[in-house]
Each structure stands twice: as structure tokens, then as C-alpha cells.
Amino acid sequence: MTQSPDFLGFLDGQVMTFGRIAAELRRRGDYSGGGIYDAERTFNGRVFELRRHLHRMFDGLEQFHINVEFDIDEIEEVTLALLEANRPLLAPGQDFTITQIASLTRDEGAQEPTGVTVLIYFELLDFSSFAGGYRDGIRLITPETYGLPNDAAGDGKARDNAGGQVFPLMSNGEGIITECKGANFMFVKEGRIKLPDRGNVLPGVSMHMILELADGEGIPVDEGEYSTSDVYRADEAFVTSTRFCIMPVASINGYAIGDSLPGHVTTRLLDGWKGQVGMDFVQQALDSI
């Protein structure tokens, strides 16, 4: 967590600066025993889908039987109050990422957790880590790379050696594609969004947003089991995540996806998302680099 200590945060019921939080955690010397977290971003200083993110966090806490002393309403109230306090520190063009953590702690040498630390902290959104992807797309690789399709050679687009952020696209034991690390993946074929079976992935809040936008735009969605070879033949593809919302995919395993970047459906979804949040977050990110 690298950020200015001027931002206010929350640690186990107390509001304090990030610097004080870091000092207190060092003083305690707690050893993490794992936990659950979620994170949101702001648009023009307004947090997006906070309640939906918190529901996902509290569902995880329930699933892993982690009991915290604050309920979802209290965490939401504190987060919004901190946002109001921190918002004046944003410079033009800046936004926040906000993270809530409930972490099991244990004393040194202890076998079982001895408590739960609840933490909320704010960071400036780092556009430099993804902004170029809006312009150049991202590259996907599969951990076990399959051979390129037979029709890839000689068509002038089989190998795309351009730079760009690389995301691993994971698959299950049967070779069915699932998701990227920290992001959901979808592709488009003949105007239809192809969504990997949600039983094989961790559905993100941004994935749900895509499905709502697609429904509003009248874009059909097919949910099913797809292989890497299906993605090779896609017309376009994209990944979704809280920080960047939608990021177009330029290539998979060096094989270029589609003829334009972003593709037609991806562009419609980006435009719909911009309308939902009332700002052009793509241009915001590009202006930062």
C-alpha cells in the first residue's frame, strides 16, 4: 500500500491517517492468517457500486466463517464518510481506489487466529498501470500455449508482437477457459458476447455491469464452455475489472483478435459505461500518460 499518509482511513473502529494506520499495524506485530477484501474505484470522486462490492465481501466472510464486529451498513457508512473527508485532496483528473479488508490475525507462534482486523484505506488510482491498454489493447497468453489455428499463417495478422500489458488467461483441467487474474474475460462472435460459464469463475462486479449494459443495449449473451481455439476465431474480446472497467484485447498467444481495436461491441459497452458514470474515464486515463 503506497500512498500519501494524508488520506484518512479506518482501523478497527478508529479513523486515522494512513501513516498512523501503518505505524499501528507495525506496533501490533500481528501475523496475518488470511482474510477477505474488496475494492472499488471512484469516478469524478464518486464511488461506484459500493454496496455491490460490499455484498461480495460479506458473502466471502460468511462463506469462510469470519466474524467481524461491523455489519455491512456500518462499513458502507464509514466508507462514504471517509470519502467525503478525502475528496477535497483530489487534484483535477485524479480518482481513488478504496479497499476494505477483514483480516484474520494471530500472535507469533499461535496456531489459530486470535482476532480480526478491519481496515479501510484510500489510494490514488494509478492510471499508468493500464491507460495504454485502451489505445493498444492488452495481450493474453495461456499458461500452456496451444498451437495456432491452421489458417493463422500468412494472413498478416497471426503474430502480433506489439507491446502492451500481458494477462494470463486461465483454463480448467478440461481446457475450458475461465478468467484472467483479477479480471473476468469475455469475447464476441457475430455480435454475440460469449461469457465463460460462471460456475468456473469468480464473477466480478464489473462482469455484472457488462451484463446489465448488454441487456440495455440489446446485445445477446451466450454463457457456456469455450476453449482457446474459440477465442482465436473471435471477432473481438475484452477483460473487465474495477480499475479500468473494460479493456480491449489485442491478441492471444500472438494471434491478433479482430480487425479493429476496440471492436464494435466493446465500443458500445464502453460508451454505455461512460454514460452510467457521467464521464469519459478512457480519456481521463489517457490524459494521465
Residue 182 vs residue 41, higher pLDDT: 41
pLDDT in tens, 111-143: 666 689 999 999 999 999 899 999 999 999 997
Angle at 70 between CA 64 and CA 71, to 5 degrees: 75
Q: Are residues 69 and 176 in the same domain?
A: no
d(CA 255, CA 233): 10
- Cell triple for 38: 474488496
Number of domains in the chain: 2
User: In terms of residue numbers, what domain contains 47?
Assistant: 8-125
Structural contact between residues 237 and 187, judged by C-beta atoms closer than 8 angstroms: yes
Q: Are residues 85 and 191 in the same domain?
A: no
Angle at 214 between CA 210 and CA 217, to 5 degrees: 140
**For residue 154, is pLDDT > 80?**
no
Residue 165: its pLDDT value, please? 85
Residue 32: its pLDDT value, please? 61
Q: Are residues 268 and 144 in the same domain?
A: yes
Q: Are residues 12 and 149 in the same domain?
A: no
Q: Are residues 190 and 67 in the same domain?
A: no
**For residue 4, is pLDDT > 70?**
no
pLDDT in tens, 211-223: 999 999 999 999 9
Q: Are residues 75 and 25 in the same domain?
A: yes
Residue 146 vs residue 18, higher pLDDT: 18
pLDDT in tens, 184-193: 999 999 999 9
Residue 146: its pLDDT value, please? 47
Among candidate residues 72, 102, 125, the one where a domain is terminated: 125
Query: Which residue matches cell numbers 468456473?
Result: 200
- 1 lies in some domain: no
Residue 52: its pLDDT value, please? 97
Q: Are residues 137 and 230 in the same domain?
A: yes
Q: Are residues 104 and 180 in the same domain?
A: no
pLDDT in tens, 24-40: 888 877 656 678 999 99
Among candidate residues 76, 101, 125, the one where a domain is terminated: 125
- 19 lies in some domain: yes
The whole-model pTM stands at 0.88
